[in-house]
Amino acid sequence: MLKIGEFSGLSRISVRMLRYYNELGLLRPDHVDETTGYRYYREDQLALAARIADLRDMGFGVTAIGEVIFGGDEALEHALRLRRAELIRERQELWEQLNRLEIALQRLGKDESRMKYEVSVKTLPERYVASVRGVLPVYAEEGRLWHTMMKELGMANVRQAQPCYGLGIYHDLEYRDHDVDVEIQLAVEGKHQDTEHVKFKTVPPILMASATYQGSYAKLSEVNASVAEWVRDNGYAFAGPNFTIDHVSPHDTQNPDELVTEVCYPVKKKSE
């Protein structure tokens, strides 16, 4: 048996936290001396202490830790997968914040009017596409739709067309903070039956104003500004929901500086 101080040293959990875990029922002493009040732990309780410490260091609160450690392996796996997804989202948000800071630092002392991007008008040809559309918590969750599409296309043995146009279309004309209506499209070969989530269809050509840039999604706002100025100055008007074409996507690289994105806006001549 180990006194609480000894158990604290071996488990690397403070005596204060051990007492707190005892109050919550997470990690109770095996024996409390009625005369002295000394608390004793078994050596095999160190394994439970290590699991609690690991979960704490992963960012789980004490309530969640209790649910996990007493819920069995299935509950543990479920909790770990959810926490991993949360951390991936947080990492992406932190990358975006860091890139915005870097861009702001680079702009210091420079003429922001020079922050322009080359905009051109062109036609995206008619395509036969696989499409998945859904309402997502935020725009950054678009990867969920791509995961669903790729899984079902692989099962259906569907081949991508060449050139391989992969689009993310944002059907909410205004920017939304949450519950965003997003559709993804991928040009494919042949004709196919719809799967559980993937719909196949032919989409008409799109006249669009677009600008391609390399770097973080943090630059999207300034790229949009360049497109808007070009549309204004060249006698066009916006004519539908905007979309992006990922030439180098987060699926291809984890480095935001290596992303290559084409920002596209359907347009029409104002006289039309």
pLDDT digits (tens, 9 = 90+) for 176-232: 888 999 999 999 999 999 999 999 999 999 999 999 998 887 788 888 888 998 998
Instruction: Give the end-to-end CA distance of the chain in Å, rounded to a whole number.
Output: 86
pLDDT band at 114 (very low <50, low <70, confident <90, very high): very low
Spans of all domains in the chain = 2-70, 74-114, 120-269
Tell me the pLDDT tens digit for each residue of 20-74: 999 988 899 998 888 888 899 999 999 999 999 999 989 998 888 988 888 888 8
> 180 and 136 in contact (C-beta within 8 Å)?
yes
Q: How confident is the model at residue 115 (pLDDT cuts 50, 70, 90)?
A: low
CATH of domain 2-70: 1.10.1660.10
Is the CB of residue 109 less than 8 Å from the CB of residue 191?
Answer: no
Same fold, 2-70 and 120-269: no
The CATH number for 120-269, chosen from 3.30.70.1350, 3.20.80.10, 3.40.710.10, 3.40.630.30, is 3.20.80.10
Report helix, strand or coil for 214. strand
pLDDT over 90 at 270, yes or no: no
Instruction: Return the SS3 of 78.
Output: helix
Question: What CA–CA distance (Å, rounded) separates 259 from 248?
Answer: 5
Helix (H, G, I), strand (E, B) or coil at 174: coil
CB 266 within 8 A of CB 207: yes
Region 126-139: mean pLDDT is 93
Distance CA 248, CA 59 (A): 32
Share of the chain above pLDDT 90, in %: 39
Q: Give me the residue label for tokens 């991936």.
A: 88
Q: Where are the beta strands (DSSP E) in the chain?
A: 2-3, 31-32, 39-41, 120-124, 127-136, 166-170, 180-187, 199-203, 206-214, 236-238, 243-248, 260-269
